[in-house]
Amino acid sequence: MREHLDQTFWSEELNIPKVLRAAEASHLWAELVFLYDKYEEFDNAIITMVTHPTDAWKESAFKEIIPKVANVELYYKSLQFYLDYKPLLLNDLLSVLAPRLDHTRAVGYFTKVNELQLVKPYLRSVQNQNNKAVNEALNLLLTQEEDYQGLRASIDAYDSFDSVGLAQALEKHELLEFRRIAAYLYRSNSRWQQSVDLCKKDKLYKDAMQYAAESEDSELAEALLHWFLEEGRRECFAACLFTCYPLLHPDLVLELAWRHQLTDFTMPYFIQVMREYLSKVDKLEEAESLRTEEEEVQEPAPMVYGQQLMLTAGPTPIVPQPGYPGYGYTTPGYAAPAYGFNVQP
């Protein structure tokens, strides 16, 4: 039958629905898949291959047909099929389905069946989408593999994951480098106190000084100075003076140097402080002298007087007109003002 189907001109010489029913009745599963593919019933073709893998499944045909199915649920059913029958080819199938898969759901499924390690190449290939579920799954695998370099690279490149949860899981890890990553994650979330405390616990002096300086917290930096003195780390005390230089108060440093006899260790710091303060004083003196010179050079501005208004004439008299009240009458005791002209009634 397969030879007949290969030699048939599909559009005119074959009634595909009728042949489909005959092939299904005869249990010709491979031929049935072939007919479904030609008839563009891709969902039925995948279901037939999954249901009868011994007779109907072919890797090339399956990978060619699976992206064409309309039912998305068949993607996840095919993942289970490959896990059961062809687990070593699972990543090849995932590479074909990657553009169409819901990666969060896929990761949840592989986590449920405890097969994350098997699909690690798939997780690597889709991590560039910065999916939270993919990032967390891959970070978990890297932690289990004790690959601290890969974990640090993943954290730096892709930030969509629960960083605080990962830090809490790593701070009790038996390896120092993973606890160091935990301190780094606390620092990324501005949890400076937890970050510095974890560094002090593991004696990561350089990281502790760096995170204290980045925190811009004077109290945290000064507490770190006291801790170095308690630990007898004089060299670290001197290094911290310059790492946290903007956050430290010179009077506190002077007191600590006097009480613990650390003059030689703090002298470079005080030289720098003295230089900085002298530079500020020089700038103030220069600005003051420049201002004084400008005031001396500046001439007094001439006084400007307003123009005096000259009255050229008095107010205009009111001349009664006929019909105006009081026309022709003179008020007793009233004297008309002298404006230089006579007013006739």
SS (H, E, C) 60-80: HHHHHHHHHCCCCHHHHHHHH
Q: Over the range 208-245, which residues count as b (16 or more CB within 10 Å of their CB) and which as e?
A: bbbbbbebebeebbbebbebbbeeeebebbbbbbebbe
How far, CA to CA in Å, does 202 sit from each of 163, 181, 214, 228, 250?
20, 12, 19, 14, 29
Q: How does pLDDT run across 154-211, given as a tens digit for each residue?
A: 999 999 999 999 999 999 999 999 999 999 999 999 999 999 999 999 999 999 999 9
Region 280-308: what's the mean pLDDT? Answer: 73
**Is it the case that residue 324 has pLDDT exceeding 50?**
no
Among 11-15, 182-186, 311-315, which is the least confidently predicted range? 311-315
Assess contact for 136 and 161: CB atoms under 8 A. Answer: yes
* Domain-wise residue ranges, the chain: 1-101
Assess contact for 92 and 100: CB atoms under 8 A. Answer: no
Q: What is the pLDDT of residue 282?
A: 83
Which residue type sits at 24? E
* Token pair recorded at residue 175: 């390896």
- Percentage with pLDDT > 70 across the chain: 82
CA distance 223 to 63: 62
* Token pair recorded at residue 201: 């616990």
